[in-house]
Amino acid sequence: MGVIRAVVKGYGHYLPERVVENAEFAETLDTSDEWIRTRTGIERRHFAAEGQKTSDLAVEAAKAALAKAGMKASDLDAIILATATPDQTFPSTATRVQHAIGMKGGFAFDIQAVCAGFIFALANANGMIQSGQAKTVMVIGAETFSRILDWEDRTTCVLFGDGAGAIILQAEEGTGTGADRGVLSTDLNSDGRFNDLLYVDGGVSSTGTTGVVRMQGQEVFKHAVSKLAACGDTALHKAGLTAGDLDWIVPHQANLRIIKRTAQKMGISMDHVVVTVQDHGNTSAASIPLALSVAASRGQIKEGDLLLLEAIGGGLTWGAAVLRW
């Protein structure tokens, strides 16, 4: 029986110009390139320039995705933007992007699920496309985490980076089997009992300030490996596929050790895992669309490849999606 599939038509990304190598942190903190590299796999990250906002990064990624798809802004019905670092408390960063790319109709809104934000946004876009609410949806992950870091806390500030990635999904008729292109399944989860493991110590209705990132790294690490492998397996099961069918895992890029252990738990060799954490650090909601766009641009991911996307972040929130590129 025919079904509607949300199929990738374009992709793009943007990284701010300023590159910060690990060694730069050692000038002001009791840390080293060696510690950061061996514990996280991170070698460098990009930081936004003064005055450069999350929407500025998102707009560049959005324009690149439109160009790749051969589309105009007016071809989009919706923009869903995942971020934990919006330009303003309101309006949404998505509406700023909508205006900046010249999209006058349709609708745009933000989604907040921290590092799992892109998976949540993708699942929403897929639902809207499958229900007929929208035909063509741009899904963006964009962050300026450098704005919410405590530069004196070596346990967090070395981990994050800034950037943006975008994909465009469009409705297409599929056969209803795992051979279809497009989003084949999604699996979303959250558990608010774990709020205190990873949070920002400020907010509009609590302190009236922006706050900075606080994290119990080891605890998050333990949850990450088991929860990511479990939701990955669930998403594959929902799609009627197995780990052996995958061409690529495109994981949230937080820590190379988490990426390796999750792949190992799922029985996937690292030859089938896209890794960009060494160059980007943890860009939260931007990390998966950045990795997708970088890997597709360099010909690593090809049309028809079967991908598993998976991410975990503050909340805790976590999820996975099976997508045939």
Per CB under 6 A, residues contacting ligand ACO are 31, 35-36, 39-40, 114-115, 154-155, 158, 198, 217-218, 220-221, 224, 254-255, 258, 282, 284, 312-314
Smallest separation (angstroms) from ligand ACO to the CB of 126? 22
325 vs 313: CA distance, rounded Å: 24
In the complex with ligand ACO, the residue whose CB is nearer, 40 or 185, is 40
Smallest separation (angstroms) from ligand ACO to the CB of 33? 10
Smallest separation (angstroms) from ligand ACO to the CB of 76? 28
Among 129, 123, 126, 91, residue whose Cα is nearest residue 110: 91
In the complex with ligand ACO, the residue whose CB is nearer, 73 or 115, is 115
In the complex with ligand ACO, the residue whose CB is nearer, 21 or 173, is 21
Smallest separation (angstroms) from ligand ACO to the CB of 173? 36
Place of tokens 């690292």: 270
* Residues 306, 127, 244: CA angle, nearest 5 degrees: 20
Q: Which two tokens stand for residue 110?
A: 């933000």
93 vs 80: CA distance, rounded Å: 10
In the complex with ligand ACO, the residue whose CB is nearer, 114 or 307, is 114
Is the alpha carbon torsion for 307, 278, 69, 302 positive or negative? Answer: negative
Query: Residue 211 burial by CB count (10 A; 0-12/13-18/19+): exposed, middle or buried?
Result: middle
159 vs 153: CA distance, rounded Å: 11
In the complex with ligand ACO, the residue whose CB is nearer, 30 or 303, is 30
Among 58, 239, 238, residue whose Cα is nearest residue 139: 58
Smallest separation (angstroms) from ligand ACO to the CB of 86? 14
316 vs 192: CA distance, rounded Å: 6
In the complex with ligand ACO, the residue whose CB is nearer, 58 or 277, is 277
Tell me phi and psi for residue 174, to 5 degrees.
Answer: -120, 180
The answer to whether 321 touches 237, Cβ cutoff 8 Å, is: no
* Residues 246, 249, 252: CA angle, nearest 5 degrees: 160
Active centre residues (catalytic)? 115, 252, 282
Smallest separation (angstroms) from ligand ACO to the CB of 283? 10
Is the alpha carbon torsion for 151, 154, 155, 158 positive or negative? Answer: positive
